[in-house]
Amino acid sequence: MPAIHQPYAARAWHGHRAGRGAIAWAGAALPSLWRGRSLRWQVLATFILINLIAALATASLVLFNAKRATEAEIAASVAMAERFVRTSIDSLDRAMPGGLWLEDLPGRIGPMRHVRLLISTVGGKAIWQEHSSGGGARPHEAAAPRWFASMVHVDDLSREIPVISGGRRLGTVLVTGEPEDEIAEVWSDMADLAAVGLLVDLSVILVLYFAFGRVLTPLSALSAGLRQLEQGHFRHRLLEPKARELADLACRFNALAGSLGTAQAENIRLNHRLLTAQEDERRLIAHELHDELGPCLFGLRANMAVLNRLASDLPEEKAGRVRSRVQILSEIAGRVQTVNRRLLQRLRPIALGDVPLADLLAALVSEFEKHDDAPDIAFRPVQLADSYGDCVDLTLYRCLQEGLTNIVRHAQAKSVELRIEDGLGAVRLSLRDDGLGMAAGTPLGMGLSGMKERVHALGGSVSISAWATGGTCLEITLPAENPESRRSAIAGHEGTS
């Protein structure tokens, strides 16, 4: 095995490593250049790449052919010039045998295509030199750039023809091939071809760019539409594009959005029924407690009063024992009454449906303000209807109750801003406190989870966020139509029709 020269081996090894590094870099960079790009970008990039490869292949082929054609052309021109020179020498020699006509030779020969002619005496003195006539070269053709000429370059080709008259040598004609004109022709053809190709390519790229824009716009609309569905906006619909396949996609999307919307409406309706059923049950229990327990307690108290009165007819010692028992009974009755009231209040706010919603909520707020550690509560109802129906009213009431309870229990807040407003088909309740704030990731307890379930069941949303200046912000949105504005809208409609 031949010994490898060390520096060469090291260079080869480094070259090999550099090559592998470049391949690894290309392997990592190309996918990242490609991935995540728009379809339009990928198709146009592929088109441009294919065109570049085709242009490179065409240019190599044209250069190869041009080199061969130029070699053949120059060889033919030199051979033809040689024949012509020899014929001219023979004809002059025949006309003036043994004469000194070397000076007349240029007049016979004249300039020739693709060759340079040099006539010199025997002593080597040049008496005439003529460059190529340019032959078929087109007048507008400029000389080819040097890099191109060096690529098409053909080897020098020349012939030395002795000029002999009457057996005596008069001088020499040197015929040398001059490929510059031929190369300029090839260069001009290639430049024209490249300009046409570039123009065609640019036009195709422009057409593709706009065509893809038209094709992809509906796909972008579809993607935006799917995002809307993801966010629960099932009323979103797509316009039908003109292309059949895309129109089919848009149709399917619209049908899907319709079905999702129906399913959501059905879900809300069922949840609404569930809530209503729950509230009906609570109301029934509240009435039972109120109507049954209330009179019973009243009867108990009345009978205890009678017992007290009867005890006064008994001897002092027996009367005292009876009165102490009556006292115990009275305390038990009192406790039952308190528990009953609290139960009634929790089952259903007594005034619900009897007083305007804003007053009912204001009463709840005043109730909280009575707590020793209660914060200041600024309450601002805006354009609230008297009622939005039992379900919505009660949900607002319960959410506010839980929100305020949480503030008193967990926030240590100094002030609270409560805002309830009606607009755009929804009632919005926001409760902002300046307390400790809710740490990120705090697990929800029964209170907030129950609140979310209730609100979602009515198709609304709950958001709990950290308030910029500290504290917590609870926001609830419930879809609800203001019955008063609906009534006035119907009245207005009837008035105009």
Shortest reach from residue 475's CB to ligand ATP, in Å: 12
Of 175 and 394, nearer to ligand ATP (C-beta) is 394
154 binds, among Mg ion, ligand ATP, none (CB under 5 to 8 A by kind): none
Choices 59-67, 82-90, 413-421, 443-451; region in contact with Mg ion by CB under 5 A: 443-451
Q: Name the β-bridge partners of 355.
A: 352
Q: Which two tokens stand for residue 155?
A: 């080897």
Of 197 and 447, nearer to Mg ion (C-beta) is 447
Give the x-and-dash track for 400-439 against Mg ion (CB under 5 A): ------x---------------------------------
List the interface residues with ligand ATP, window 446-485 (CB under 6 A).
446-448, 472
- What share of residues in the chain are helix, strand, coil (percent, to 5)? 65, 15, 25
Shortest reach from residue 448's CB to ligand ATP, in Å: 3
H and E: helices and strands count for the chain: 12, 9
Positive or negative, the CA dihedral 195, 196, 201, 206 is positive
What's the CA gap between 109 and 89, in Å, rounded? Answer: 9
Shortest reach from residue 448's CB to Mg ion, in Å: 6
The answer to whether 180 and 146 have CB atoms below 8 angstroms apart is no
List the interface residues with ligand ATP, window 333-372 (CB under 6 A).
none
The answer to whether 132 and 110 have CB atoms below 8 angstroms apart is no
Choices 157-165, 191-199, 231-239, 402-410; region in contact with ligand ATP by CB under 6 A: 402-410
Of 113 and 432, nearer to ligand ATP (C-beta) is 432
List the interface residues with ligand ATP, window 205-224 (CB under 6 A).
none
Q: What is the dihedral of CA 32, 33, 34, 40, to 10 degrees?
A: 140
Give the x-and-dash track for 409-448 against ligand ATP (CB under 6 A): xxx---------------------x-xxxx---x-xxxxx
Select the residue interacting with ligand ATP from 361, 407, 418, 476 (CB under 6 A): 407
Give the x-and-dash track for 388-407 against Mg ion (CB under 5 A): ------------------x-
349 binds, among ligand ATP, Mg ion, none (CB under 5 to 8 A by kind): none
The answer to whether 333 and 301 have CB atoms below 8 angstroms apart is yes
What's the CA gap between 358 and 348, in Å, rounded? Answer: 16
What's the CA gap between 125 and 136, in Å, rounded? Answer: 32
Shortest reach from residue 410's CB to Mg ion, in Å: 7
Q: Is 336 exposed, middle or buried (0-12, 13-18, 19+ CB in 10 A)?
A: middle
Give the 3-state secondary structure of residue 433: strand
120 binds, among Mg ion, ligand ATP, none (CB under 5 to 8 A by kind): none
357 binds, among Mg ion, ligand ATP, none (CB under 5 to 8 A by kind): none
| Range list of H helices, 138-243 | 146-152, 180-230
Residue spans of beta strands (DSSP E) within 324-414: 376-382
Shortest reach from residue 450's CB to Mg ion, in Å: 9
Q: Is 375 exposed, middle or buried (0-12, 13-18, 19+ CB in 10 A)?
A: buried
Cα diameter, the chain? 189
Of 161 and 404, nearer to Mg ion (C-beta) is 404
List the interface residues with ligand ATP, window 83-112 (CB under 6 A).
none
175 binds, among Mg ion, ligand ATP, none (CB under 5 to 8 A by kind): none
Select the residue interacting with ligand ATP from 406, 418, 459, 478 (CB under 6 A): 406
Shortest reach from residue 455's CB to Mg ion, in Å: 15
Shortest reach from residue 402's CB to Mg ion, in Å: 6
Contacts of 471 (CB under 8 A, 6+ apart): 411, 413, 432, 433, 434, 435, 436, 437
Nearest alpha carbon to residue 172 among 84, 79, 85, 83 = 85
Choices 67-75, 152-160, 199-207, 406-414; region in contact with ligand ATP by CB under 6 A: 406-414
**Type of residue found at 346:** R
The answer to whether 351 and 393 have CB atoms below 8 angstroms apart is no
Select the residue interacting with Mg ion from 134, 353, 447, 479 (CB under 5 A): 447
**134 binding Mg ion? (CB under 5 A):** no
> For ligand ATP, how many residues bind (rule: CB under 6 A)?
17
What's the CA gap between 118 and 129, in Å, rounded? Answer: 4
Nearest alpha carbon to residue 154 among 76, 58, 59, 55 = 76
Shortest reach from residue 444's CB to Mg ion, in Å: 9
Q: Name the β-bridge partners of 431.
A: 418, 474
Interface ranges with Mg ion (CB under 5 A): 406, 447
Interface ranges with ligand ATP (CB under 6 A): 406-407, 409-411, 433, 435-438, 442, 444-448, 472
